[in-house]
Structure 1
């Protein structure tokens, strides 16, 4: 059987290993991460292999995950891995490939064929191998346990600021700057048009307060996601107006952090009305 395990970060032994998919690195994941120096995740997302009819947009790509986690193990999830028994998964991957000193899992962590492995089975296995294990209880917001699935729904069609609160950090999107139609420049707000991996979840259309990191420097940013209805365009676009920045970013990879949802997209009667609203958006976001 082929096991493809890729590691990112320091080439040191995993002292404390957390296990899970960790899509979003939300507050529940952070409760696990706070006890770990390394994580094991899976790529592609297991649900897309177990059910071919499902396509899933990722909150966090593997590249983005490395921004949150000092040492990351990525196990290629395929049919061979999916059919491993729970004990084979523990013995052939956790013990033989990683061999951590301690283990941290969530209350709902299941593993092995047909999810036969439970936290209790994992705990028994750890006891047999003299490996300390910590099982982390769920983290909730005011109404429910925080889950990646709910955050995806909120970002696409619900309360975006609730999703950002559940994440516990700005929503990171690593994208590449591509050429646009220069319409922002004509309006006096030159924008960077951004392209993202096909599996990356793009939040619902609207205007956002954001920031962008360029060469380790943070810049205040206004972000627009939408179809530019004022100009009768039909293709969705992601455009960032980076305050106090001048320079050519074409073909560069940049880190965009969505901090707050301001308003939905809107069709304006003319360019002047749009320009006035952009000034208002900047004021609402930054007070100037």
Structure 2
């Protein structure tokens, strides 16, 4: 998949495209329905399947919100790229959201971005898609613009979980609660974190349960504090894992960490990249008065996790 992030790279690419528009954080089942539609229709019309999204949060350019905390990312850009490529997307354009874009009227956005820049012959969006200055552009306006600029428009309906529309906001709430089984259902796969392993304090090894401490990306979504049943991919091999998320209260630590004891694996993983798939929260964090009590609890956790994961079909990205 080709990943572009500046207009100059597109100036010489005149191929007609099918373009999906959106933020796509999480690439949940609703996003997947939209992307599958775009990829399928692009094949039927011989168009290049393309995604247009922003690499920065739109709120970062709002001068009246200098100290605002923006939503954590369910999927960092690197993971979006992996998932979209697997789905058949051939080009991803990561635009930078600027004041100029923020102030651009909807009709100018359609003409300059969709038509002139992307050469869109098909545009695919969700029902709640908004665009242009002050989000004045809606589906009805986009329908009118598609007629004026001669591109086809497909509006994909939302996907529901029971009576609730699946959304990135809903999924963030469930991750924050530690409801990982529900998160898996909404995403269509387990929530995943991946990065390099950093050196920790070595407490786990002293206890007989060495852990891989994951480096946390800026704005990376982290599940609620607790102990989780996880699967760990190292290179091409999968292992079961017992993952602790939190500040390690028994040792009076304050920094939130993501530490995984990889079951039946004693590889040296410092500076190596691992993938961590969260399946279920099995308990909250507990402060133990004695280290021996902690060791016994970890032993119980490992047995519970092995029994649980042996019944699950592991889905990986």
Which ranges of structure 2 fall in alignment gaps of 5 or more residues?
40-49, 86-90, 311-317
Aligned partner of 1:55 in structure 2 is: 69
- Does residue 222 in structure 1 map to residue 242 in structure 2? yes
Any runs of at least 4 consecutive aligned residues in structure 1 with deviations exceeding 6 A, and if so which? none
Q: Structure 1 residues 60-69 or 156-165, which shifts more?
A: 156-165
Which ranges of structure 1 fall in alignment gaps of 5 or more residues?
none
Hey, what's the Cα distance between the residues in 1 that align with 2:274 and 2:7?
Answer: 27
Task: Mark the CA change 1:179 to 1:53 in structure 2 (over 3 Å): closer, same or farther.
Answer: same
Trace 1:69-80 onto structure 2 (pairs within 5 A).
69-70=84-85, 71-80=91-100
Aligned partner of 2:28 in structure 1 is: 26
* C-alpha contact 1:206 1:265 (8 A) present in aligned 2: yes
SS of match in other structure, 2:299: helix
Please give the root-mean-square deviation of Cα atoms over the aligned residues, in Å: 2.4
Considering fraction of residues, name the structure with more helix. Answer: 2
Aligned partner of 2:313 in structure 1 is: none
Q: CA deviation at 1:143?
A: 4.1
TM-score normalised according to structure 1 size: 0.89
SS of match in other structure, 1:66: helix
Q: Structure 1 residues 43-52 or 178-187, which shifts more?
A: 43-52
* C-alpha contact 1:6 1:73 (8 A) present in aligned 2: no
* C-alpha contact 1:21 1:45 (8 A) present in aligned 2: no
Q: Structure 1 residues 263-272 or 222-231, which shifts more?
A: 263-272
Length, aligned pairs only: 283
* C-alpha contact 1:26 1:148 (8 A) present in aligned 2: yes
Aligned partner of 2:277 in structure 1 is: 257
Structure 1 residue corresponding to 2:51, chosen from 36, 39, 52:
39
Task: Mark the CA change 1:102 to 1:227 in structure 2 (over 3 Å): closer, same or farther.
Answer: same
* C-alpha contact 1:151 1:163 (8 A) present in aligned 2: yes
Task: Mark the CA change 1:5 to 1:230 in structure 2 (over 3 Å): closer, same or farther.
Answer: farther
* C-alpha contact 1:21 1:42 (8 A) present in aligned 2: yes
1:183-238 per-residue CA deviation (whole Å, 9 max, x = no partner) reads: 11111111111112221111110111222222233222221101111222222211
